[in-house]
């Protein structure tokens, strides 16, 4: 990412996941964003940043989806679906077969509409999973 894209990535996450929820303490220098196997992703539409997420590769062909956010003025227009489709494709290219996400309660319906399944409903953030399609074996 360019420095401008990196700043946009953090601006989107800060605004959507912290400020809009009345939270403070966003850390744009958190070491997890730059850790090996962690991939910050930025959704651009006509070179304009509209969404951000991070994919963290774990063991056993599993990855965790983190900090999914779409700019408030861009929500409800299919950009979240577009971001997740790109994230799933990227994950598949890294041989990921199973995704996990700790979702905000108000985002569970979004994930379920994309084929995710709740596996832990308790707690502040429900955990959902999705099995990725594998290419047919010839």
Using one digit for the tens of pLDDT, what is the confidence trace for 57-112? Answer: 998 899 999 999 999 999 999 999 999 999 999 999 999 999 999 999 999 999 99
**40 inside domain:** yes
Domain with 19 in it: 3-131
CA nearest to 41, candidates 81, 73, 69, 72:
69
**47 inside domain:** yes
**93 inside domain:** yes
Q: How many domains does the chain have?
A: 1
Question: What's the CATH code of the domain at 88?
Answer: 3.40.630.30
Helices (H) and strands (E) in the chain, counts: 3, 6
CA nearest to 74, candidates 103, 45, 114:
45
**101 inside domain:** yes
Residue 93: phi, psi to the nearest 5? Answer: -65, -20
**138 inside domain:** no
Give the percent of the chain with pLDDT over 90: 91
**69 inside domain:** yes
pTM of this prediction?
0.91
Residues facing residue 69 across a β-bridge:
52
Distance CA 7, CA 96 (A): 28
Give the percent of the chain with pLDDT over 70: 96
**12 inside domain:** yes
**137 inside domain:** no
């Amino acid at each position: 990412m360019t420095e401008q894209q990196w700043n946009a990535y953090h601006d989107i996450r800060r605004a959507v996941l912290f400020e809009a929820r009345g939270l403070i303490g966003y850390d744009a220098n958190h070491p997890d964003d730059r850790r090996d196997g962690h991939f910050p992703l930025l959704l651009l539409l006509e070179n304009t940043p509209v969404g951000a997420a991070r994919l963290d590769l774990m063991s056993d062909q599993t990855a965790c989806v983190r900090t999914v956010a779409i700019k408030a003025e861009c929500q409800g227009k299919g950009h979240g679906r577009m971001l997740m489709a790109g994230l799933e494709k990227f994950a598949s290219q890294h041989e990921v077969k199973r995704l996990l996400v700790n979702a905000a309660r108000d985002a569970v319906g979004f994930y379920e509409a994309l084929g995710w399944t709740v596996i832990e409903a308790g707690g502040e953030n429900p955990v959902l999973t999705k099995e990725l399609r594998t290419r047919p074996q010839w």
